[in-house]
């Protein structure tokens, strides 16, 4: 009984302290499930071009973009066109908190659209979700909130352990018309059904937030592009031959002198792991330094690649995204119901007793 009281107190404190941030994370997370659809609908004209005979060389597209942007950012291909009517997408990294996306017509080199990571809806929401618009400080707060959510799930399992089976067998009713039980029962029912989901997103969110913080450790002076003597179009052919059926979707130039260029793509692996699971590292003189064929990846590599898809729910169709979007709201709803339960016990019931 004493352990139950201690766990309940910890569960309540975690919810009250992290409640407002969890509510914000829930709303932004629910929206980000549909980030691809929102992005495409907002900038549809930038994603498509009129097909012509031949694309411009990757080298030329890269140089044209570099000349069109101020400074000397780290510039790479986010998306190489996979169909005749697709545009090329590049990203220029100035700092961990300032990035510029550029959509190009691959036949003419014309810039179709340009925006930063925070001046379009999904980019702004993503930055808010991971940093609270406050860079490293906000990322630390979000990291702590993720830990609080995970601990809330753990303590909730212990506190409400006797109600879990009742909820799963539909024996615990919502009783919305009962003012003394409506929020308590909602909290229990919603908490149980979202138990696994909240454990997954809190754990994966913690791991992703660590990467957000790592990106801000040693980048006080920002990112800069370096000279690379290799020809990306020739190296692309080399990379495609390294893995049977390898389809290159992105290119990352080296960040340090002497390092190879990295060609990312996919080849036979599950769509769950995205478009960039496999990769080939090619030096400037065309030597293949390293090959990552994800169809033969280790369990550890598969685990790392599954973190982002599990967190955002972007590995399935629209039905899965709708389910993810609703479930993403549960931490926020649980924080509200938990606050109302605490408020009623702390003030309303106590006042009536007095």
Measured between alpha carbons, how far is 293 from 247 in angstroms, rounded to an integer? Answer: 12
Residue with tokens 């601990």: 151
Cut 0.95: pTM above it: no
| pLDDT the model gives residue 1 | 58
Per-residue model confidence as pLDDT tens digits over 58-98: 999 999 999 999 999 999 999 999 999 999 999 999 999 99
How far apart are the C-alpha atoms of 248 and 286, rounded to whole Å? Answer: 16
Residues 254-308 have pLDDT tens digits of: 999 999 999 999 988 888 888 999 999 999 999 999 999 998 888 988 999 999 9
Residue ranges per structural domain of the chain? 2-35+144-201+318-353
> What pLDDT is attached to residue 218?
67
Distance CA 251, CA 163 (A): 52
Q: What does the pLDDT read at residue 11?
A: 84
Three-state secondary-structure class, residue 312: helix
Give me the residues of the chain with pLDDT under 50, please: 354
Per-residue pLDDT, 276? 93
The span from the CA of 102 to the CA of 47, in Å, is 11
Instruction: For residues 202 and 8, give the distance between their C-alpha atoms in angstroms, rounded to a whole number.
Output: 20
263 three-class SS: strand
* pLDDT score at 219: 59
């Amino acid at each position: 009984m004493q352990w139950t009281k201690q766990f309940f107190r910890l569960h309540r404190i975690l919810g009250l302290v992290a409640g407002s941030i969890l509510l914000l994370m829930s709303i932004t997370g629910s929206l980000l499930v549909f980030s691809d659809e929102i992005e495409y609908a907002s900038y549809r004209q930038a994603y498509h071009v009129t097909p012509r005979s031949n694309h411009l060389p990757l080298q030329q597209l890269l140089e044209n973009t570099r000349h069109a942007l101020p400074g000397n950012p780290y510039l790479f291909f986010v998306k190489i066109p996979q169909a005749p009517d697709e545009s090329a997408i590049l990203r220029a990294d100035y700092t961990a908190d300032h990035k510029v996306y550029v959509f190009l017509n691959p036949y003419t080199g014309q810039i179709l659209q340009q925006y930063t990571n925070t001046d379009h809806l999904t980019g702004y929401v993503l930055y808010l979700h991971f940093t609270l618009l406050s860079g490293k400080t906000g990322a630390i707060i979000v990291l702590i909130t993720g830990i609080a959510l995970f601990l809330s799930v753990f303590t909730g399992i212990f506190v409400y352990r006797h109600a879990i089976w009742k909820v799963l067998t539909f024996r615990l009713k919502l009783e919305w018309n009962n003012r003394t039980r409506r929020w308590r029962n909602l909290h229990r029912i919603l908490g149980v059904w979202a138990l696994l989901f909240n454990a997954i997103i809190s754990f994966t969110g913690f791991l992703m937030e660590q990467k957000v913080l790592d990106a801000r450790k040693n980048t006080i002076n920002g990112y800069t592009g370096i000279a690379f003597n290799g020809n990306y179009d020739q190296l692309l052919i080399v990379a495609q031959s390294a893995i049977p059926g390898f389809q290159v979707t992105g290119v990352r130039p080296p960040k340090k002198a002497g390092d190879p260029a990295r060609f990312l793509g996919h080849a036979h692996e599950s769509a769950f792991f995205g478009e960039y699971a496999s990769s080939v590292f090619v030096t400037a003189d065309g030597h293949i330094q390293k090959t990552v064929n994800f169809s033969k990846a280790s369990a550890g590599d598969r685990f790392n690649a599954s973190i982002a898809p599990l967190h955002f729910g972007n590995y399935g169709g629209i039905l899965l995204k709708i389910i993810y979007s609703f479930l993403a709201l549960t931490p926020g709803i649980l924080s509200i119901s938990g606050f109302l339960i605490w408020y009623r016990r702390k003030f309303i019931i106590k006042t009536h007793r007095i």
